[in-house]
């Protein structure tokens, strides 16, 4: 008999809804509790997803003995404290990306999880999607020869709202750590940690990054270049260019339904990479497996990767003079 | 009666063929002479294009009194000396891009032309093509709002040949000044001169740039990012992203037959930008007009633009430690 994994959700925002939708109907997976800052919001959310236990505080949620693992979906600036609260209660944790606002915060949380031997993972959901597995396979099979250059763009036009999470430095706003992290993660996946980073970023008057272009030079000279913004619609595609051809990841490159193989002197080949449900469930399946196998960390999305990607984002923000008020 | 303009071609390589093809059948335009380093090559070329005067040296070509203007199609490293030879003989000049290998060389040639009041222009043919005129019009009409980011890639997979012009530093090889100049020129056209430049370039063991990523930050924060190579096939497209949408320039972005308008929340609109003949003739028409009007410079492709673009390429090469042996 497969052990059922009992989930709690911390916060009831937009991403929490998507996550709950993704989790629905998974085998041996139960959504047993939700915690919000208000009883009312907890009730609305719980009713929508048939969740038995609903709490008007995060503290009550983390104390619920029926919960095995908690998914954290609060704004970036709260992740660290929310994770620590969960870990202190002995709960396993899946935390939305970015894991924390910088590497230093992440280190303290990871240190605690490792000390307490509790499962912890960043919800970098795109790492588990079918297209990424296909791209990794194609690259390791040498289909495009040696991959040399990654080009990507990621961004959305957000309605300006000085108090909203995208524009507010107190909520660790800006484009880079919210969506630029997808291009950074893709680059890391293909080429590893950059050896050198050069970038330009334009900060708003409030001090968050509105737009930027970022370049990496990797150890064997491979190159990454991408842009990121919260002011404009972007192509949101990615191209991995190699000696024998390239892989084009259709928009949105972090959860597309198609990729194209463009081999030199051959017609383009469209490859369907269907993603059932909304894609958020793949990371849940990984967490369930890890918890059942009593792993403290995912091998697919290890905590050292989280630390490295955060150190890259730290370096880029450092080049831009972007420091959040709580740093 | 319209004055017929009599052209001479200096060199008989691949690009000289394309130019001669483009020039064919233009009204009031005559291809009257060709000069090569060998009589044999001059004869073959002249027979192919019905050119009456054929010379086994460049010196004879520039002395031909029947020639009004000379098109120079030699390797990059020879442009400066070839142009000076033409100007000394009082011939107007259209010289292939890159105009010279660096800004310093260009300055000396331009100084001479201005002193002698002789027409001189860089053969940046793409500046005169229908798609560029359309893109400029769309931007100045505000169709995509304020343009903020330009993304482009340019590159080809060249068969490695250490003596060939792409790989040989003595012939001023490498990707940047040969094809990266197209992205640099497009960026200059849209955003003007960059205020800041950051880039990575990988040099071959022979010392030419094999691949690179280049970023510009312009005066009002607008951003350009592009890649360039001679090792791989590249997407070779360009996207200009603005506040209301973006313009996608299909491959090859420097002479496409289609552009796409992608307005926010509207379906993509494909726009045909047919380019009759091979496109090389548009610059010839401009030169003809300028000579007939006794202009010393084109207003569309002024020499100051040539100087500025070369100073950008100089700065990028400087960042890469790429110095040609003749510099």
pLDDT digits (tens, 9 = 90+) for B237-289: 999 999 999 999 999 999 999 999 999 999 999 999 999 889 999 999 999 99
Q: Kindly state whether residues B156 and B264 are assigned to the same domain.
A: yes
Distance between CA atoms of residues A320 and B223, nearest Å: 14
Contacts of A187 (CB under 8 A, 6+ apart): A150, A152, A194, A216, A224, A226
Q: Which pair of tokens denotes residue A324?
A: 């959040």
Check CB contact of B148 with chain A, cutoff 8 Å: yes
- Say what the pLDDT of residue B24 is: 85
pLDDT digits (tens, 9 = 90+) for A201-219: 999 999 999 999 999 999 9
Residue B320 lies in a domain: no
Work out the angle at residue A138's Cα, subtended by the Cα atoms of residues A136 and A139, and round it to the nearest 5 degrees. Answer: 65
- Say what the pLDDT of residue A25 is: 83
Distance from CA of B223 to the nearest CA of A (A): 7
Q: Say if the Cβ atoms of A232 and B221 lie within 8 Å.
A: no
Check CB contact of B149 with chain A, cutoff 8 Å: yes
Q: What H or E segment, with its residue span, contains residue B283?
A: helix B281-292
Mean pLDDT to the nearest integer, A40-67: 98
Q: Exposure pattern of A268-299 as b/e (b: 16+ CB <10 Å)?
A: eeeeebeeeeebbbbbbebbbebbeeeebbbe
Q: Kindly state whether residues A122 and A139 are assigned to the same domain.
A: no
Residue A167 lies in a domain: yes
The CATH number given to whatever domain includes residue A94 is: 3.40.50.720
Mean pLDDT to the nearest integer, B293-311: 98
- Say what the pLDDT of residue B186 is: 98
Q: Kindly state whether residues A105 and A138 are assigned to the same domain.
A: no
Q: Say if the Cβ atoms of B217 and A239 lie within 8 Å.
A: no
Distance from CA of A36 to the nearest CA of B (A): 34
Distance between CA atoms of residues B254 and A259, nearest Å: 26
Q: Kindly state whether residues B152 and B259 are assigned to the same domain.
A: yes
- Say what the pLDDT of residue A141 is: 98
Residue B319 lies in a domain: no
Q: Kindly state whether residues A96 and A210 are assigned to the same domain.
A: no
Distance between CA atoms of residues B248 and B44, nearest Å: 41
Q: Kindly state whether residues B268 and B231 are assigned to the same domain.
A: yes
Q: Say if the Cβ atoms of B199 and A202 lie within 8 Å.
A: no
Mean pLDDT to the nearest integer, A298-327: 98
Q: Kindly state whether residues A77 and A120 are assigned to the same domain.
A: yes
Check CB contact of A187 with chain B, cutoff 8 Å: no
Residue B314 lies in a domain: no
The DSSP secondary-structure symbol of A137 reads: H
C-alpha Rg value of chain A to the nearest Å: 20
Bridge partners (DSSP) of residue A241 are A149, A246
- Say what the pLDDT of residue B195 is: 98
Does the pLDDT of residue A4 top 90, yes or no?
yes
Check CB contact of B233 with chain A, cutoff 8 Å: yes
Q: Which pair of tokens denotes residue A290?
A: 């890890």
Q: Domain ends where: A100, A126, A152?
A: A126
Bridge partners (DSSP) of residue B35 are B10, B55
Check CB contact of B200 with chain A, cutoff 8 Å: yes
The CATH number given to whatever domain includes residue B158 is: 3.30.360.10
Residue A293 lies in a domain: no
Across the beta sheet with B223-229, the strand order is B194-203, B209-218, B223-229, B147-155, B238-242, B245-249, B258-263, B269-272
Mean pLDDT to the nearest integer, B307-322: 98
Chain B residue with CA closest to A220: the answer is B202
Q: Which pair of tokens denotes residue B230?
A: 């001679």
Residue A316 lies in a domain: no
Residue A297 lies in a domain: no
Q: Kindly state whether residues A176 and A270 are assigned to the same domain.
A: yes
Q: Domain ends where: A126, A153, A179?
A: A126
Q: What H or E segment, with its residue span, contains residue B202?
A: strand B194-203
Query: Which range of residues forms the domain containing residue B218?
Result: 130-274
Distance from CA of A244 to the nearest CA of B (A): 8
Mean pLDDT of chain B: 97
The DSSP secondary-structure symbol of B176 reads: I
Model confidence at B316, in pLDDT bands (50, 70, 90)? very high
Check: complex ipTM more than 0.90: yes
Does the pLDDT of residue B230 top 80, yes or no?
yes
Q: Kindly state whether residues B69 and B117 are assigned to the same domain.
A: yes
Q: Which pair of tokens denotes residue A161?
A: 């709202």
- Say what the pLDDT of residue A277 is: 87
Measured in whole angstroms, how far is the alpha carbon of residue B246 from the centre of its chain? Answer: 25
Check CB contact of A233 with chain B, cutoff 8 Å: yes
Give the percent of chain A with pLDDT over 70: 100
Residue B124 backbone phi and psi in degrees, to 5: -80, 75
Q: Kindly state whether residues B117 and B135 are assigned to the same domain.
A: no
Does the pLDDT of residue B1 top 80, yes or no?
no
Q: Kindly state whether residues B156 and B233 are assigned to the same domain.
A: yes
Residue B310 lies in a domain: no
- Say what the pLDDT of residue B60 is: 98
Distance from CA of A236 to the nearest CA of B (A): 12
With 0-12 / 13-18 / 19 or more C-beta atoms within 10 angstroms meaning exposed / middle / buried, residue A8 is buried
Distance between CA atoms of residues B287 and B122, nearest Å: 10
Mean pLDDT of chain A: 97
Check CB contact of A251 with chain B, cutoff 8 Å: no
Helix (H, G, I), strand (E, B) or coil at A204: coil
Q: Kindly state whether residues A96 and A161 are assigned to the same domain.
A: no
**What number of other Cβ atoms are within 10 A of residue A148's Cβ?**
24
Bridge partners (DSSP) of residue B120 are B93
Q: Which residues of B touch A212 (CB under 8 A)?
A: 223
- Say what the pLDDT of residue A280 is: 96
Which residue is it, tokens 């370049």?
A: A215
Distance between CA atoms of residues A123 and A82, nearest Å: 14
Q: Exposure pattern of B14-29 as b/e (b: 16+ CB <10 Å)?
A: ebbeebbebbeebeeb
pLDDT digits (tens, 9 = 90+) for A235-288: 999 999 999 999 999 999 999 999 999 999 999 999 999 998 899 999 999 999
Q: Say if the Cβ atoms of A233 and B223 lie within 8 Å.
A: no
Structural domain count, chain A: 2
Mean pLDDT to the nearest integer, A24-49: 96
Q: Please spell the DSSP secondary structure of A254-285, one letter per residue.
A: TS-SEEEEEETTS--EEEE----TTSTHHHHH
- Say what the pLDDT of residue B25 is: 83
Mean pLDDT to the nearest integer, A296-301: 98
- Say what the pLDDT of residue A1 is: 73
Distance between CA atoms of residues A194 and A219, nearest Å: 7
Residue in A225, A234, A241 closest to B225 by CB: A225
Q: Please spell the DSSP secondary structure of A207-240, one letter per residue.
A: S-EEEEEEEEE-TTS-EEEEEEESSS-----EEE
Check CB contact of A227 with chain B, cutoff 8 Å: yes
Distance from CA of B219 to the nearest CA of A (A): 11
Q: Which pair of tokens denotes residue A183?
A: 């291009």
With 0-12 / 13-18 / 19 or more C-beta atoms within 10 angstroms meaning exposed / middle / buried, residue B134 is middle
Q: Say if the Cβ atoms of A196 and B199 lie within 8 Å.
A: no
């Amino acid at each position: 008999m497969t052990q059922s994994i009992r989930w709690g959700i911390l916060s009831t925002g937009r991403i929490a809804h998507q996550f709950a939708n993704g989790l629905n109907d998974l085998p041996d997976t139960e959504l047993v509790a939700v915690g919000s800052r208000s009883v009312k919001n907890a009730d609305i959310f719980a009713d929508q997803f048939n969740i038995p236990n609903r709490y008007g505080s995060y503290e009550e949620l983390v104390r619920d003995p029926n919960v095995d693992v908690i998914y954290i979906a609060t704004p970036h600036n709260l992740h660290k404290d929310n994770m620590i609260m969960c870990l202190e209660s002995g709960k396993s944790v899946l935390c939305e990306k970015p894991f924390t606002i910088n590497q230093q915060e992440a280190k303290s949380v990871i240190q605690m999880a490792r000390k307490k031997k509790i499962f912890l993972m960043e919800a970098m959901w795109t790492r588990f999607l079918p297209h990424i597995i296909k791209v990794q396979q194609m690259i390791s099979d040498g289909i495009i020869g040696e991959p040399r250059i990654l080009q990507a763009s990621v961004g959305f036009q957000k309605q300006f709202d000085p108090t909203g999470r995208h524009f507010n430095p107190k909520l660790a706003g800006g484009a880079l750590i919210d969506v630029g992290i997808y291009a950074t993660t893709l680059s890391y996946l293909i080429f590893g940690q950059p050896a050198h980073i050069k970038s330009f970023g334009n900060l708003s008057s409030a001090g968050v990054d509105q737009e930027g272009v970022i370049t990496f030079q990797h150890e064997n000279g491979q190159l990454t270049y991408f842009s990121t913004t919260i002011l404009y619609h972007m192509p949101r595609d990615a191209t991995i260019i190699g000696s024998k051809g390239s892989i084009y990841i259709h928009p949105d490159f972090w959860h597309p339904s198609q990729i194209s193989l463009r081999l030199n002197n051959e017609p383009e080949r469209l490859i369907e990479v269907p993603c059932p449900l909304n894609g958020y469930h793949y990371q849940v399946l990984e967490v369930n497996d890890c918890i059942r196998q009593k792993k403290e960390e995912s091998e697919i999305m290890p905590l050292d990767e989280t630390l490295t990607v955060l150190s890259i984002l730290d370096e880029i923000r450092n080049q831009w003079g972007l420091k959040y008020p709580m740093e």
